[in-house]
Amino acid sequence: RDNEIITPPYPSIAGLRDSEPLVKITNQPFNDERLMSFGALGSELDIEATLLVKRRSKSAGPFVRFKFRLFVDPDDPNSHFDVPFRISPDSGFVFTEPFPMYETDNHQLRVRIIVDRSVVETFVQGGRRAFSLGYCAPNHQKLDRMGVQIVGPELSVEVFIKDLVIHKLHASKRR
């Protein structure tokens, strides 16, 4: 579509998952600057989410803002790694990189974040935007206790979690 290059994650990553998810949430509103926190999950994670994102009013401005946060210590901002999103009806940004939102998306944002210790790969809308960054936690000896937070949007925005699943990955299965 529009000469897009789609870069989805390798399907074989699903074979590295634990059979049971660590976290599974379906059909839950997530609004009003709320914080969802899941601690001590591990340093190899596969996070998949489908979110319904809408503004409640035009006073919210053109973009909905929220983020996924990886952390080693939730109280130490130096141990946080944020994956920020800004979404409008026709476009979005992950970090500062744009990606298109189409009418056929029906206000749904599909996110997949794969964490392999100090590398964080983010895939948006099935690969319309793929982003890979290194994460160097100051307390890397505690990296296996990494957790995930979702930092909610401002008050005038509605985010509905259709699905959120977090699986632990096992690098030893690669061999």
Task: Give per-residue pLDDT as tens, 148-158.
Answer: 998 877 655 67
The dihedral region occupied by 42, where left means phi > 0, alpha psi between -120 and 50, and beta the remainder, is left
Q: What pLDDT does residue 137 have? A: 73
Where the chain has pLDDT below 70, the residues are 1-5, 32-33, 55-61, 89, 154-157, 171-175
CA 145 – CA 73 distance, rounded (Å): 8
129 membership: H or E segment, kind and range: strand 129-134
Torsion on CA atoms 64, 95, 160, 128, rounded to nearest 10: 110
Q: What pLDDT does residue 175 have? A: 44
